[in-house]
């Protein structure tokens, strides 16, 4: 937030919710989903699939053809009116977009800032993941791939994939670590109800990294018939770009909705970062606005000196799951076991475009501990009547922190990436309650 803007606000020129100029503006809810995939002036990824020095394609030879096929198919359909119309129709009528941009008044009062929540928790299946899975299922169908596989951590991407597959009648296999199966039992049950096969992965840390390894193994074996729906902005090119494009609807909607509610701002955007797809979705359409600060929040777990999942804040550059990015690794280059209270942030890597933004300084990355996230889970539930996913709760904590440096009339937008129902059993267990 610039000093000038702060001064203006203190002088009382801040827009209120009763500005007459807003009358007659079109409601974005009535307008249906806003356009995704904005102007083509943004240079990344380059032709080699890189974001600066990050990204690329570090995969076995057998997967090269499938990645090239996916890249070519996406390039062909991304601007086709029929493809866009079908996806827009699904996002609107099936997934419930646009999701509201909601001024959380009691949280705002508590935090000391005006806090808007971009309500991805209200999208069908309860998180942002559905934006990507609907898009990728259409791509799979277009390429004639009749079988779908995916990895999942928190289970939200697994549920969103199983949902899209049920909608299109495609068989679907979801890989999930045993530890995540334990803490996200509700989502496992949901996936099975939706007709998916859930394959338990008992190797390694038994979390998202290991589930991803198994999904890649399956893909290498069945690549001719199978499309792998990666759940975040990670993996080899073109996945980080495709997932970013499908998720950027979050930011395009938020931008339009924000302009209807406020005269200027937002001062900052906040989002949790696991692989980085909800943050990417919110941030991407605001990249060209130098006045908008962007903050990605990783999981500090038990603290950065102990077990955590803060790849950008505390990692080193290396290769994981097909691309070059920051990741947690030992001094001799082995991937380290990540830890977070939230299964969706419990991943030792991060999307390559985030690594690029870290290096350029466009986005600031920080981290929040398990204990603070758990406290924010309760605060947000009690004050606003909205249970955040434990992943989302990390971003809420950062809003509380930056408030100290901002004016109470400053405005921030949090990507409210998902609902907390899935986490109730785990929170109860951690707090010694039986349900
Ligand atoms: C609700 C929710 N938020 C955030 C995440 C983290 O993923 P990403 O960083 O790709 O948005 C997950 C992952 O499962 C999730 O379920």
Predicted confidence at residue 39, as pLDDT, reads 55
Catalytic residues: 129, 151, 417
* Rounded CA separation 100/181 (Å): 31
Please determine, for residue 393, whether its predicted confidence score (pLDDT) is greater than 50.
Answer: yes
Predicted confidence at residue 145, as pLDDT, reads 97
Ligand 1 atom nearest 127 alpha carbon: 1
* 97 DSSP 8-state letter: P
**Residues 63-111: pLDDT tens digits?**
999 999 999 999 999 989 999 999 999 999 999 999 999 999 999 999 9
Predicted confidence at residue 258, as pLDDT, reads 97
Do the Cβ atoms of 391 and 274 come closer than 8 Å? yes
**Cα–ligand 1 centroid distance for 139 (angstroms):** 22
Ligand 1 atom nearest 418 alpha carbon: 1
Ligand 1, atom 1: nearest CA belongs to which residue?
418
User: What average pLDDT does the segment 220-228 reach?
Assistant: 97
> Is the backbone peptide bond immediately before 98 cis, with ω within 30 degrees of 0?
yes
Q: Which residues line ligand 1 (CB under 6 A)?
A: 127, 153-154, 156-157, 232, 272-278, 344-345, 389, 391-392, 417-418
**Cβ neighbourhood burial of 8 (10 Å; 0-12, 13-18, 19+):** middle
Ligand 1, atom 12: nearest CA belongs to which residue?
344
364 sits in which H/E element: strand 364-369
Please determine, for residue 338, whether its predicted confidence score (pLDDT) is greater than 50.
Answer: yes
pTM for this prediction: 0.92
Ligand 1 atom nearest 276 alpha carbon: 9
The alpha carbon of 412 is separated from its chain's Cα centroid by a whole number of angstroms, namely 18
């Amino acid at each position: 937030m610039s000093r000038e803007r702060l001064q203006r606000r203190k002088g009382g020129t801040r827009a209120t919710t009763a500005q007459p100029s807003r009358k007659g503006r079109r409601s974005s809810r009535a307008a249906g989903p806003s356009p995704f995939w904005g102007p083509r002036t943004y240079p990344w990824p380059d032709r080699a699939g890189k974001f600066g020095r990050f990204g690329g394609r570090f995969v076995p030879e057998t997967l090269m053809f499938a990645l090239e096929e996916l890249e070519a198919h996406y390039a062909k359909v991304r601007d086709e009116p029929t493809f866009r119309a079908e996806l827009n129709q699904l996002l609107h009528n099936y997934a419930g977009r646009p999701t509201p941009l909601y001024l959380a008044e009691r949280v705002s009062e508590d935090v000391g800032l005006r806090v808007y929540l971009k309500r991805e928790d209200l999208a069908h299946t309860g998180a942002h993941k559905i934006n990507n899975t609907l898009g990728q299922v259409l791509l799979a169908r277009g390429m004639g791939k009749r079988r779908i596989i995916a990895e999942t951590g928190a289970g939200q991407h697994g549920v969103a994939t199983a949902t899209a597959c049920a909608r299109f009648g495609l068989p679907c296999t979801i890989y999930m670590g045993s530890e995540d199966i334990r803490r996200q039992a509700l989502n496992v049950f949901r996936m099975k109800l939706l007709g998916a096969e859930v394959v338990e992965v008992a190797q390694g840390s038994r979390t998202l990294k290991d589930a991803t390894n198994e999904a890649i193994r399956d893909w290498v074996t069945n690549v001719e018939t199978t499309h792998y729906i990666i759940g975040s902005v990670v993996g080899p090119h073109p996945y980080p770009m495709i997932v970013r494009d499908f998720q950027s609807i979050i930011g395009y909607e938020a931008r339009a909705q924000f302009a209807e509610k406020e005269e200027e701002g937002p001062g900052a955007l906040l989002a949790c970062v696991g692989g980085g797809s909800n943050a990417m979705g919110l941030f991407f359409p605001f990249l060209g606005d130098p006045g908008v600060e962007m903050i990605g929040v990783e999981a500090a777990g038990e603290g950065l000196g102990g077990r955590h999942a803060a790849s950008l804040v505390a990692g080193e550059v290396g290769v994981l799951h097909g691309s070059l990015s920051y990741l947690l690794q030992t001094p001799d280059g082995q991937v380290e076991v990540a830890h977070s209270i939230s299964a969706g942030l419990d991943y030792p890597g991060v999307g390559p475009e985030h690594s690029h933004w870290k290096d350029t300084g466009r986005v600031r990355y920080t981290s929040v501990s398990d204990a603070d996230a758990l406290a924010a889970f309760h605060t947000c539930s009690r004050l606003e009547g909205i249970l955040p996913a434990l992943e989302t709760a990390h971003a809420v904590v950062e809003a509380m922190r930056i408030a100290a440096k901002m004016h109470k009339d400053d405005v921030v937008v949090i990507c409210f990436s998902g609902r907390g129902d899935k986490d109730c059993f785990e929170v109860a267990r951690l707090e010694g309650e039986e349900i």
